[in-house]
Structure 1
Amino acid sequence: MITIPTARKRKGLVFRVTVFLSVALAPIGIIAVLQTLEVMHQTARSSELSVLTLTRDAASREQLSLERAFGAAEALGAVALSLRRDGERCDSYLRQFIEANPKYSFVGLLPRDGIMTCSSTEQEYDFTTFDRFDEIMETPRPVVEANFNAPLSGTSVVIVSQPVFEEDSFVGYLTLSIPHDWIDPTADLTRLEKPIGLLTFNAFGQILTAERGVDTAMRQLPPDLDLTRFVGSTSDVFVAEDSNGQERVYTVVSIIPETVYALGTWTSDQGIASRVRPAVWSVPFPILMWIASVLVAVYALDRLVIRHVKSLRGQMVSFARNRTLPSPLKGSSVPSELSEMRDTFAAMANRVILEDADRENVMREMEGLIKTQNELLNQKDALVHQKSILLKEVHHRVKNNLQLISSIMNMQQRTATHSETRQIVGRLQDRVLGLAKIHQRLYQTERIDKIDAGAMIQDLIGQMSRLGSESIVPQNINVSAETIQLFPDQAVPFSLLVSELMTNALKYARAPEGQAPTIDVSLIEEEDDTVELKIANSISDERAPPSGTGLGNRLVQAFVNQLDGEIIVEEASDEYRVIVTFTRSEFVPEERDY
């Protein structure tokens, strides 16, 4: 069972020293492992070269026979090429060659059209239907194939084909057939170490010769082994299981470059072949030596340092919990550095005890100051609350007084006999009620320093619609007002401005016959704290002519100036529009002369 260190143990000195020593000694261990692996690799490579050499020696008879056949084919090709137009002389010359060299059973000149007319049998043959005919004609190169039932030779043969050229132009192949009886893979093997199986194959993966027959050779090979994968390589060594599940060492060498290859089969415990696979037992030895070195170093460090550090740590914990002064470290093997550390800790402990006493006195004084501060803060909160109540009461009473004045004006308006007088009193009443709404908002909101301009517009318009005079035509009023917080310094002139503009809109709003006049009111705030008030009323050709003294216009301009804003008046064929813009400002208290 593997125990995983906890977080506390991982932070411990033993664990960290073990890790650091492991890292410090790791290069030595790695070098030892790498050197061991290098020796094993060199041994395996030397063994591979040895078995490759033995495989090449074992296939020397086939190599010699094939090289001689290619040499003869090259020489015969030049002669046959000169005699190819005289069929009888060409056949006679090739027949005499076979009679003089009984190790060859057939020779013939195969032209590119596939119709052989010059051969040692003095007969004509058609090779166009043979396997790979088009492939070898398309790419001229030396070719070796096997035919275990050759119709021309009447026996099992190895067919050697050498390309023939005339003035760098490919003409065809000079083909030689060598009976398998003349190629004995074991005839010249006198070495004690030789493969248990040897075969040769061509660039197409076809087996040419086999020491113990093709069937036996196939059983000694790994299942589904593709021999064409070795084509193009000069040598190869690999370990695999044969068809019977036995582990074998296989060697592949090229005996005719890129044309014929020899494959030897060795048992895994057979002499040099047994050293092809390196022994894995030699790798753990340097690793064990590295582990032993780390353990010895950790043990020495524990005896000299760690156990004394743990003792000193225990004294520190005891002092932290119970203020127990440290005692001298026991043992004669205590390093001088740790003894000095213990003395320094003892001096520090005495000083800490004295500072604790002083700190306790300071804390008592601080507690008294904090208590006094809390009492002052409570008094301040009470004063602020009292001030808020008084301010709300003031706003409430001002609002009541303004409503009282509005009621008196309303009574006066009803008793007036002239319509002009009633209109003047009504306008004054609207202005007074506008101020009253501001004070009402101030004492009804949680914060008495700001007023919601959007809600105030809703109240003013609703109030003016209810108290409208008889000269005001009924209208459709559309209000779109955002929530915008204004300080009282801006809220007062703003409410009076809205009252004046709405009075004019209610007074002069007209519409074509059969339609109701409309008034659109909008209040928006842009990103740069700019507030835009827009009041538009519909008009018609039969609108009422302007009347009055112009006081309303002067008041509107005065209120705009108080807001530090701008006013734009636009008039179209069916609408009269007033746009006021100003910047929402923060509250700035007035300077006082004390």
Structure 2
Amino acid sequence: MKPGWPRQFSRVRNASLYKQIAFLLTIAVFPIGVIAVLQALNSVEEGRKLQAAALLGETIHAAGVESAIIDTARGVARALGTAALHAGPDSPLCSDTLEQFASRSVTYTFAGFIGLDGKMNCVSSGDGFDLSKNARFVRLLERPRPMARVLEYGPVSKQKILQITEPISEGGTVRGFLMISIPYGVVTARALAQDGENVFDMVLVDGDGNVVARRKEEKSRIELPPAWALKPHLQGGGSTFVAPLADGRTSTFSVASVLDGDIYAVATWSTANGQPSAFADVFSALIVPVTMWLIGLAVSYLAMHRLVIRHVTRLVRMMSEFEGGKRNIEGLILRDAPEEIRALGSRFASLTSTITQDETEQQRALEEKTILLREINHRVKNNLQLIVSIMNMQVRHSRSGDVRNALKRLQERVSSLAAVHARLYTSADFVSIRADTVLSDIVQNLVHAAVDTSGKVQTVLDIAPVELTPDQAVPVTLFVSETVTNAIKHGLGANGGTLKVSLREIDTGRVTLRVSNSMTAAPDAQPLAQSTGVGSHLIEGFAGQLYATLRQDTTDDFFHVSLTFDLEPLGLRAPFAPSARRSTPA
């Protein structure tokens, strides 16, 4: 088996139902078609044999006229030859005998006795002949036998004749030959008397295949093959054969012996269209099986379309509509379909009903959970804001500066947490927070809260709209809160400066969050790296929560603190929009 066969067979199995039915029907009809073709070809061959046999029979029957005339003439010649021998071939009595015979006969126009020396002195009329040097007579002496030929112009009768020569024996020894002539019109008249107006059309040829006479003369329509193709078949009592004509067509011929070795009758089928070709035979044999195959294909196509295909197509369309979100689908019950497909439609209807009910229940449960999550985030935000308000009241009533600073720092951290829950409360899915919105709000609030330096701080935000999960949003916002606060209070000092916050994607699913502050010449300014307070420990803790890489470096008069971490996957990650780079004076 070829390596590609399974793949080709798989293509057939995966083809459309129409093609598979056509393929299977072809396989089923093919043996019948082969048998029908073989039987048809056999019938054609048998028919040809019957036609050939019929043609040969017609030819033999039609040639019976010439055969009967020649047989009668031979008998007459033997009788006249015996009389000539008794009278003496050279005596006047011999000539008188033949003359009396010819004058009284309406069939024979000439008779003459030929001696072994080739002299024909005993004749029915005219002078004698010397045939001693005649080639035909020489062959006759070498092999004595009855001979016949057709002459277009008889030397005595001056008309077309049938000439018969019969050996005359005495005591078993050939003593001479009797030649007798019959007008060919007698042959034609005998044929007309036998067959009436429907005279069988045939041709008389000699032993070399040359035409010597035509039964219908000028009305004959028989075309003979070349002599070289005809001569091998001029033997025996009768035969049929196929031979080419001059124009390239082929035809079937029959040959019947009139006088073996001398005259043969040749007939043929009608040559108007020539011999039927093999292609015509195969075509005629294929008509019935091909017609059966086409009718079978048509019936199968109509049956498959009406009983199967149109219902399956309808089911596929309804399934596509259901897959596309349509739930109110009409016509799920296929009432005019066969039982099996109707059952399939019913199962699909039950399936759609079950799925629709489940989806409704899931939607209701989702709405309830959404409301619950919204309420939880709302209450958490309110509680955190309440804590911020309480701490604010405590700040106002506290007289210690260190206590007030500590409470304010704690208040900022709680406010960052409240901002996260506020964003969750207002988000659509409650599972993700846009980093650009929440971080922008936190930075702006922290800058405005720094009363002493807010008017001197220039903020530059370059935050990509990254979606953060709540687990990452809390440490990210707190990290930004701590670093921005440290930058404002310790990095910029009282003289103010530039504050940059950026969040960029450096690879698919991996981002870098950077907070930078300009390094001023203020005496109270110090980088975060030199801070030993709680803020630096919190920043390190937030980095650990995010499994991030924490870096602090200085470039171009700026001090940078950055976190590089992997984003947690969401149910559906929203694509990044172009980052919004803006410069806002604080």
Task: Please tell me whether Structure 1 or Structure 2 has the larger radius of gyration of its CA atoms.
Answer: 2
Q: TM-score w.r.t. structure 2 length? A: 0.41
